[in-house]
Amino acid sequence: MFNFLKKTSQNIIQMLGKKTQKISKDALEEILIESDISYDIIEKMLDNLGENITRAELKVAFERFFRGESYYDKVKFSEITHSPIVYLVFGVNGAGKTTSIAKLAKRFKNGGKKVILGAGDTFRAAAVEQLELWSEKIGVEIITTKMAADPSALAFDTINAARARKMDYAIIDTAGRLPNQINLKNELIKISKTCAKALDNAPFHRILVLDGTQGSNAISQASIFNESLNLDGIILTKMDGTAKGGAILSIIHELRLPIIYLGMGEKEDDLVPFNESDFINGFLDSIFE
């Protein structure tokens, strides 16, 4: 069983009573709705299916979603080849942003890369302290500044330090609030522009961390960030504890953004790349014998 669908799978099996060889369209529709897949997607998936659906038929329907033009047209995470590779990370408090930054750093370090962190949530002492603890625990460098200092300056200093110290990656934290107020929106836009300037307009990653337990409710939150920041991808956290795993499809469909990683727990190694085949097979294994 694929861990990121564990709770979703348990919920599906409870609804069905037992696994089956064929499932009625009505029962499947109920399962997909309960898993937090948007009705727009469900309609498209079920449109060409009969009244009793086999594993192979549902697999084709999922694959059409992932391999259709609407998906691959825009939903791509572009790799960056120059150093340092910069990740500018956004997300509201409680979504698991700081922990996700630590997990990214550990993952890159485990791959033999040199990583530096930037504690850019400069107005929240707890965020800086938490990131400092993580940097010490996983053994990577960190750039900090005094409380309430300009976060754009911190981002600039982090990138310059990454260059000077020949780092492979720089991962920069930002304020953990929704940019629905003009001052915070402008602050985040300024940080993004500062990163571009520090990199001489070379590309970098703007990543949003979303709480996976929020299901489709996370979409409106992501839309606000994306409107201001032109995001490149999403890290979806707490996927080990949600029965709403189908929201993955809704997020991809609504936002046209790739889900890059899934957070599976609190430990620094609990971060896995999102894999569409694992998602499809995990979902099918929950329904069919």
Nearest to 256, CA basis, from 221, 224, 228, 232: 232
Q: Is 95 annotated as a binding residue?
A: yes
Q: Is 240 annotated as a binding residue?
A: yes
Strands 271-273 and 169-172 turn out to be: unpaired
Question: Do 58 and 287 touch, CB atoms closer than 8 A?
Answer: yes
Q: Is 68 annotated as a binding residue?
A: no
| pLDDT recorded at residue 8 | 79
Token reading at 91:
């997300």
How far does the chain reach from its first CA to its final CA, in angstroms? 13
Q: Is 202 annotated as a binding residue?
A: no
| pLDDT recorded at residue 72 | 47
Question: Do 154 and 124 touch, CB atoms closer than 8 A?
Answer: no
Q: Helices (DSSP H) in 68-140: which residue ranges?
A: 69-72, 97-110, 125-138
| pLDDT recorded at residue 120 | 97
Question: Do 259 and 76 touch, CB atoms closer than 8 A?
Answer: no
Taking 50 as the pLDDT cut, the residues of the chain under it are 1, 72
In degrees and rounded to multiples of 5, residue 141 shows phi and psi of -80, 160
Q: Is 237 annotated as a binding residue?
A: yes
Q: Is 8 annotated as a binding residue?
A: no
Q: Is 92 annotated as a binding residue?
A: yes
How many Cβ atoms are within 10 Å of 169's Cβ, its own excluded?
A: 24
Question: Which residues lie closer than 8 Å to 162 by C-beta, 6 or more apart?
Answer: 84, 86, 116, 169, 170
Q: Is 155 annotated as a binding residue?
A: no
Ramachandran sector of residue 65 (left: φ over 0; alpha: ψ -120 to 50; beta: rest): alpha
Which amino acid, residue 8? T
Q: Is 174 annotated as a binding residue?
A: yes
Q: Is 96 annotated as a binding residue?
A: yes
Q: Which helix (H) or strand (E) holds 7?
A: helix 6-16
Strands 205-211 and 271-273 turn out to be: unpaired
Q: Is 93 annotated as a binding residue?
A: yes
| pLDDT recorded at residue 147 | 94
Q: Is 264 annotated as a binding residue?
A: no
Question: Which residues lie closer than 8 Å to 251 by C-beta, 6 or more apart?
Answer: 210, 216, 218, 219, 222, 234, 236, 257, 259
Question: Which residues lie closer than 8 Å to 70 by C-beta, 6 or more apart?
Answer: 253
Q: Is 147 annotated as a binding residue?
A: no
Q: Which helix (H) or strand (E) holds 271?
A: strand 271-273
Q: Is 175 annotated as a binding residue?
A: yes
Q: Is 98 annotated as a binding residue?
A: yes
Q: Is 48 annotated as a binding residue?
A: no
Helices first, then strands: H and E counts in the chain: 12, 10
DSSP 204-265: -EEEEEEEGGGTTHHHHHHHHHHHHH---EEEEE-GGG-S-TTHHHHHHHHH---EEEEE-S
Token reading at 90:
């956004």
Q: Is 18 annotated as a binding residue?
A: no
* Rounded CA separation 109/140 (Å): 8
